[in-house]
Amino acid sequence: MTHDISRRRLLAASLAATALARPALAQAEWPTRPMRWIVAFAAGGAADTAARALAADMQEALGQNIVIENRTGGNAVVAASALLQAPRDGYTFLVDAANQLTNPALMRDLPFDYATAFQPITQISAFPQVIAVKQDFPARTIAEFIALAKARPGTISVGTPPAAGMAHLALAAFQRRASIRLVHAPYRGGADAARDILAGNIDAVLITTSSIRPPVQAGRARVLAVTSLERVPSLPDVPTLAESGFPGFDLNDWNGLFAGAGVPRPIIDRVAAAAAVSARSPAVRARMDPAGAIMIGNSPEAFATWLAEQRRSALEVIREANITLG
């Protein structure tokens, strides 16, 4: 009897040891098959393009293909839910953006908590935004724009993509800090706003550097300021709002890579390390620099810290400006 009990205990201990070793073994072998990146945005947009450029370069380092799957809808909740329904085995990731910051304040009855359901891996890129006016608009500088807005409150139209997006938040923050009142015109995307300023149908826009390129190149729009903390390499002569009387102003569009909570940390670290290298790859930079994108590739800790700071700032703007999705 004692012999049988000892055998059973030995077998149980052996099985327990095997079970504990199996996750470590799986992580060491990871990845053994293609990965899937669920992108919360339509194919061809700036966020999608940056994700595809980074993923294509990372494939060689990770030794497996990365399949991009665009899942739009529900203010990015559709894509986020798809990630959370997938196994937490390190083969499914999410490319998301400002929705991670704003949805909790804008949407009721969310099926998950953004703060706990996702693991930040790395910020893929930042897309600095600009305040630009149509070619025949009287203001030539941001100071002149503000003076004109104060002289003609509630008459200057400014387009952003879309309602409650980072451009809308930046516009609301700018109005509050400059003590001006503008007419907000939400668009579905930056390209739509760019077409209207090119046609002269709107006074100004607050859109990304990549979206403003066509009307500027056509001589139909002028950039007055950028919303990033530092000047943009593709627009070196354009001042920032931060240096134009609004210190610390830093509200850009961006995208980042996330995993579901519970994905093993060694996998998170390996993906982040590969992303850091690829973000600095000449091939990736050659593709993204002309569009005005700034490739980041930071650590999970740095990304998480930045997200927390951005979340506080975004929620403050949403509450003070009473921004809604409608």
Q: Mean pLDDT over all residues of the chain?
A: 90
Give 200: exposed, middle or buried? Use CB within 10 Å, 0-12, 13-18, 19+. Answer: middle
Q: Phi first, then psi: what are they for 254, rounded to 5°?
A: -165, 170
Q: Is residue 4 part of a domain?
A: no
257 and 221: one domain? no
Query: Residue 185 is part of a domain; what is its CATH number?
Result: 3.40.190.10
301 and 281: one domain? yes
199 and 272: one domain? no
136 and 107: one domain? no
Peptide bond into 31 cis (omega under 30): yes
133 and 222: one domain? yes
150 and 298: one domain? no
Q: Is residue 6 part of a domain?
A: no
Q: Is residue 234 part of a domain?
A: no
Q: Which structural domain, as residue segments, surrounds residue 160?
A: 129-226
154 and 121: one domain? no
Q: Is residue 177 part of a domain?
A: yes
Output the pLDDT for position 169: 95
Q: Is residue 238 part of a domain?
A: no
Q: Is the pLDDT of residue 5 over 70?
A: no
Region class of 55: left (phi > 0), else alpha (psi between -120 and 50), else beta = alpha
- The order of strands in the sheet holding 92-96 is 66-70, 35-39, 92-96, 253-260, 118-127, 294-295
Q: Is residue 275 part of a domain?
A: yes
For residue range 34-86, list pLDDT tens digits in order.
999 999 998 888 889 999 999 999 999 999 999 999 999 999 999 999 999 99
With tokens 């070619």, the residue in question is 135
For residue range 85-95, list pLDDT tens digits in order.
999 999 999 99
266 and 311: one domain? yes
State how many domains the chain has.
Answer: 2
Quote the tokens at residue 326: 């409608």
315 and 282: one domain? yes
Q: Phi first, then psi: what are they for 285, rounded to 5°?
A: -65, -40
